[in-house]
């Protein structure tokens, strides 16, 4: 299946908070996928990011409204896009949702998780922030992460990291969390260059692995870490959130909000096993293991300049060798 064919048309609902109105536009059909024509980076702005939040559960609508409002109030954010992936949600539900939403709603043509990385034409910034619908960072964390990304613009930057490892006994790759190192940044909160979205979506090298993401309905974030590591030959960058991020998908927050645990990425043990299977499968299909370990973490400190922790010591980030 090519993504181009599946994108014959999609509906865009644009909502602006002041004044409140909703426009519905039908786009397409396209003969070739326009997003795969290289976007001239000179036409992209560098001073702000576009946020793409993935939404699915209707019971989370109030939370998404609050998260979108927080993002749109941030000086680091140019545009907030809500990618609504529940195809069964009636249009009326979404339009009334849109009335109190500081975001543009996009309805992709299928619920494929690959759409999270689709280089939508409305992305006019170089930096793209991909986020789950249950993560609410405060203003300071958003701008801090953005600053860290700006000094490492080719890498994936984010607050939540995991790791790959090889299990000699089962002769397969596993998905894990290690104290010292990491190789995968999660889509709970991930900043990356728009170019990587084009590579992920359009490059033939990844067509089979994109197909695995659809089959498993999982692992799009792992695949993106493969794509970026392979193309820039560097591991990702972990930024310390220091309590500046509320993770409503985290069981510890459930009581507070009375929200349930239905998250795209919160089913634990089985989840970890499936993620290991994805790594093994991506490795098999690509015939190589591009994931790279990183060891440092950018920690917030006094002043503008980010400091990185390395071997228990703090050093300016640009002096850090991963």
Ligand X SMILES: *[C@@H]1O[C@H](CO)[C@@H](O)[C@H](O)[C@H]1NC(C)=O
Decide the pairing of beta strands 21-27 and 45-55: unpaired
Determine if 65 is a binding residue for ligand X (CB under 6 A). Answer: yes
| Contact window for ligand X (CB under 6 A) among 84-92, 204-212, 275-283, 311-319 | 84-92
Choose the binding region for ligand X from 88-96, 186-194, 218-226, 300-308 (rule: CB under 6 A).
88-96
By beta-carbon proximity to ligand X, the closer residue of 59 and 171 is: 59
- Contact status: 71 vs ligand X (CB under 6 A): no
**Beta strands, E only, 121-258:** 125-131, 135-137, 157-158, 161-167, 172-176, 184-185, 189-193, 237-239, 245-247
Q: 79 or 183, CB closer to ligand X?
A: 79
Q: Token pair for residue 113? A: 């998780």
* Residue 58 within binding range of ligand X, rule CB under 6 A: yes
Query: 242: phi > 0 → left, psi -120 to 50 → alpha, else beta; which?
Result: left
Contact 13, 104 (CB under 8 A): yes
Q: How far is the CB of 18 from ligand X (least distance, A)?
A: 12
- Residue 71's contacts (CB-CB under 8 Å, 6 or more residues apart) are 51, 53, 77, 80, 102, 103, 131, 142
Nearer to ligand X, 46 or 66 (CB): 66
Contact between 264 and 54 under an 8 Å Cβ cutoff? The reply is: yes
Nearer to ligand X, 14 or 44 (CB): 14
**Strand 245-247 versus strand 135-137 pairing type:** antiparallel
* Candidate segments 52-60, 71-79, 227-235, 243-251, binder of ligand X by CB under 6 A: 52-60
Residue 221 designated active-site: yes
* Closer residue to ligand X (CB): 99 or 207: 99
E strand or H helix that includes residue 91: helix 91-98
Residue 188 Ramachandran class (φ > 0 left, ψ -120 to 50 alpha, else beta): alpha
Residue 86 sits in the site that holds ligand X (CB under 6 A): yes
Choose the stretch contacting ligand X; rule: CB under 6 A; options: 24-32, 34-42, 82-90, 301-309: 82-90
Residue 56 touching ligand X (CB under 6 A): yes
- Among 133, 134, 221, 247, the active-site one is 221
CB of 69 to ligand X, least distance (A): 4
DSSP per-residue codes, 15-39: EETTTTEEEEEEE---SS-GGGSPP
- 57 sits near ligand X (criterion: CB under 6 A): yes
Q: How many residues bind ligand X (CB under 6 A)?
A: 12
Instruction: Name 192's bridge partners.
Output: 128
Least separation in angstroms between residue 96's CB and ligand X is: 10
Give the residue numbers annotated as catalytic, written as ranges: 221
Which residues lie near ligand X (CB under 6 A)? 56-59, 65-66, 69, 86, 88-90, 100
């Amino acid at each position: 299946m090519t993504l181009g064919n599946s994108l014959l048309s999609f509906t865009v609902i644009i909502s602006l908070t002041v004044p409140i109105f909703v426009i519905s536009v039908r786009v397409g059909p396209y003969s070739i996928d326009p997003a795969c024509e290289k976007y001239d980076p000179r036409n992209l702005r560098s001073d702000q990011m576009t946020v793409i939040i993935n939404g699915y559960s209707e019971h989370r609508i109030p939370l998404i409204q609050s998260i979108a409002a927080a993002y749109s109030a941030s000086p680091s954010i140019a545009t907030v896009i809500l990618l609504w992936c529940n195809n069964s949600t009636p249009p009326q539900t979404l339009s009334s949702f849109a009335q109190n939403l500081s975001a543009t709603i996009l309805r992709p043509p299928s619920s494929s998780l690959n759409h999270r990385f689709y280089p939508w034409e409305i992305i006019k910034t170089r930096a793209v922030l991909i986020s789950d619908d249950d993560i609410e960072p405060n203003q300071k964390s958003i701008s801090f992460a953005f600053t860290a990304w700006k000094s490492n613009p080719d890498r994936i930057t984010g607050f939540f990291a995991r790791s790959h490892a090889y299990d000699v006994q089962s002769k397969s790759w596993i998905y894990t969390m290690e104290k010292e190192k990491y190789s995968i940044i999660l889509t709970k909160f991930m900043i990356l260059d728009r170019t990587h979205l084009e590579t992920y979506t359009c490059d033939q090298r990844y067509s089979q692995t994109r197909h695995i993401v659809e089959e498993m309905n999982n692992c799009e974030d792992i695949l993106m870490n493969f794509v970026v590591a392979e193309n820039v030959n560097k591991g990702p960058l972990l930024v310390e959130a220091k309590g500046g991020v509320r993770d409503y998908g985290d069981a510890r927050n459930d009581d507070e909000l009375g929200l349930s645990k239905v998250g795209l990425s919160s089913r634990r043990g089985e989840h970890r096993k499936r993620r290991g299977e994805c790594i093994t499968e991506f490795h098999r299909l690509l015939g190589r293991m591009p994931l790279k370990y990183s060891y440092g973490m950018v920690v917030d400190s006094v002043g503008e300049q980010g400091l990185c922790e390395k071997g228990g010591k703090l050093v300016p980030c640009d002096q850090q060798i991963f």
